[in-house]
Amino acid sequence: MSRSQPARSLAVLAATAFAAAAAPLLAAGTASATPDGGCQSATVQYRLVDKDGKPVGADWTSQGGFHQWDTVPGTVEVRLAPGQTVGDGCTYPVSLAEYTTEGPNWYTSGHQTLVDKATVYLTAKDVAGQDDSGRTWQKLAVKSPDCYGQIDLYGDDVTYDGKTGEGHGPAPYQPGNVVTPYHLIAAWNGGEKPCTPATPDSPTPSQPAPSTPSTPATPTAPAHSTPPAGHSTPPASPKLSTTPPTTPDVPPMHSAPPSPSPSGSKPPLAETGASAPVGLIAGAAGLVLLLGAGTVYVTSRARRS
C-alpha cells in the first residue's frame, strides 16, 4: 500500500496539470465564436415630420411596403424600436435615397437615377424607451423631386447608383427585376410629370428647292424602324407581381474588417487567435509529459519490489 502511494499522487498531479493545459485551448475556441462582438439584427422605426419637427400622418411605425405620396415626404426620423437590447459598439446604418423615375409608381418606374442620399448610424443610444417626451431623434432628409420619383428608406450605407467599386451597388430597375436597395425598410412613390421631355427636340425643317415634276421616288423604310446601335431596348423580363419585399429588421455594420493573413492567401487562424497563450500551453504540455514518465517509472519500481 505504501509503495503505490507515490504513483497515485503523481497520477492525480498529472491529471490536474492536463486539465490546466486544456483550459486555455477551450477558452480560445469559445472566444472566437462571436467575431462581431455579438451584434444581432435590430428593428428600426420611422416617422415623417414637417419642418417644425411635428409628425406628419402616422406616428412611429415599422410598417414597410410602398406608399403613394400626396405630398413629397420631407424629413424622416429614425430610431431603434423599444424592448430590444443593443450591445455597446453595435452600429446600424440607415439611409434615405431619392431617385427620379419614369413613372409615379414601382410598376412604371423604369430606369431610376439617384439624385440624393443621406445616412445616419443608430446605436444603443437610439433605442426608444417608455418615456421619450422631449427626446430628439436622428433625422434623414434628401432633395425633394419635382417630377416622377421614388424615395427609399433602407438599412445599410451602400449607394445604389449603378456604379462599381466599394460602397456602390446596382440602381433599382423594375423591368429588369433589380430590386435594390437591399434591406429595404419602406419606400414612397409619386410625382405628376415626367422628369424628361416626352418627345425629343425636332430639327428645324429646311425649305425645299423648287423643282419640275418628275417620276416619284421609290418608297423607302422609315428612318427610325431600326433602333440605333448601342441603344437597344432592354430584354423583356417577367414583371414582379408585387412590389419588392421590405423588412424593418436591419443587420449591424461590421465594426472592423477581418485582418488579412501574412501570406494574403489564407484566412487567419481564428481558432486560437494572436493573443492565445501558446507559451503557457506548450509549457503545461511538457509538464504533463514529464509527470507521465515519472508515474510510469515509479509504478514499475513498485511492481518489481
5-48 confidence digits (pLDDT tens): 544 443 443 444 434 444 443 333 332 223 345 899 999 999 99
pLDDT band at 279 (very low <50, low <70, confident <90, very high): very low
Confidence band (pLDDT; 50, 70, 90) for 303?
low
Those residues with Cβ within 8 angstroms of residue 113's Cβ, 6 or more apart along the chain or in another chain: 99, 100, 171
Kindly report the average pLDDT of the chain as a whole number: 71
**Residue with the larger pLDDT of the pair 80 and 235:** 80
Q: What percent of the chain shows pLDDT beyond 70?
A: 56
Write down the pLDDT at residue 145: 84
At 118-137, the pLDDT tens digits run: 999 999 999 999 888 888 99
* Alpha carbon distance 114, 151 (integer Å): 10
Q: Please, which pLDDT band fits residue 144 given cuts at 50, 70 and 90? A: confident
Structure confidence at residue 276 (pLDDT): 39
Global pTM reads 0.60
pLDDT value at residue 197: 60
Peptide bond into 181 cis (omega under 30): yes
Q: In this predicted structure, what is the pLDDT of residue 141? A: 96
In this model, does residue 117 exceed pLDDT 50?
yes
Strand, coil or helix: 62: coil
From 100-114, 143-157, 160-174, 287-301, the region with the lowest mean pLDDT: 287-301
Q: Residue 46's pLDDT is what?
A: 97
| Measured distance CA(259)–CA(237) in Å, rounded | 41
What's the confidence (pLDDT) of residue 39?
A: 94
Q: What residues form DSSP beta bridges with 107?
A: none
Instruction: Please give the pLDDT value at position 261.
Output: 31
Residue type, 114: L
User: What value, to the nearest 5°, has the Cα angle with vertex 106 and ends 101 and 109?
Assistant: 25
Residue 304: predicted pLDDT = 52
Top-ranked range on mean pLDDT: pick from 51-60, 134-143, 198-207, 253-262: 134-143
pLDDT at residue 250 is higher than 80: yes
Q: How far is 174 from 112, CA to CA, in rounded Å?
A: 9
